Structure 1
């Protein structure tokens, strides 16, 4: 599985749109900053056919250190849940051929 970085996405979009990389970078960074801001305000982000991002709160719990078997309090925390939209679900549901390296 390959890793695609933000820089690679910026380069691809700049090539596809013929826009300057610095402009594309500013737009993408602004988009990501707005997503973080909205999610930190507990707002739901919905992108039709792509998916939905929303925050969830995990309850505080008691866990156990597997090495020492000591009980540890784990505080409540917020996480982000992503639910796939229709187009992504359709794209990911097509069978994948396994290569010999996997």
Structure 2
């Protein structure tokens, strides 16, 4: 397997790389891998832009991506046990929709 900084060298069980997803999309849609990769990149860019601009994206049946604010909190340095302040930050949360939940069961 060729080494690439963007993809793992050894495939972990249950892990699908972006390249493998592109191949699956191309096969299912009957398009070239280049076109499938462009489509996937457009989709990912659109999801990112929507979350930045609106804070929420719902794909009916699949699930909802939502930006949430994590409050500042106190943590501990695992090496020294010293208390450290963890600053507030924004995180993306995903809540699966009914169709996805049912498909995974």
When normalised by structure 1's length, the TM-score is 0.83
Aligned-residue Cα RMSD (Å) equals 1.3
Q: Partner of 1:28 in structure 2?
A: 40
Could you report, residue by residue, the CA deviation over 1:16-75 in whole angstroms, capped at 9, with x for unpaired residues? Answer: 222121111111101101111221234211001100000111000111113212111110
Provide the C-alpha distance between the structure 1 equivalents of 2:77 and 2:29, rounded to a whole number of angstroms.
51
Count of residue correspondences: 93
Name stretches of at least 5 consecutive residues in structure 1 with no aligned partner.
94-102
Shift of 1:13: 1.5
Name stretches of at least 5 consecutive residues in structure 2 with no aligned partner.
1-12
- Give 1 or 2 for the bigger CA radius of gyration: 1
When normalised by structure 2's length, the TM-score is 0.81
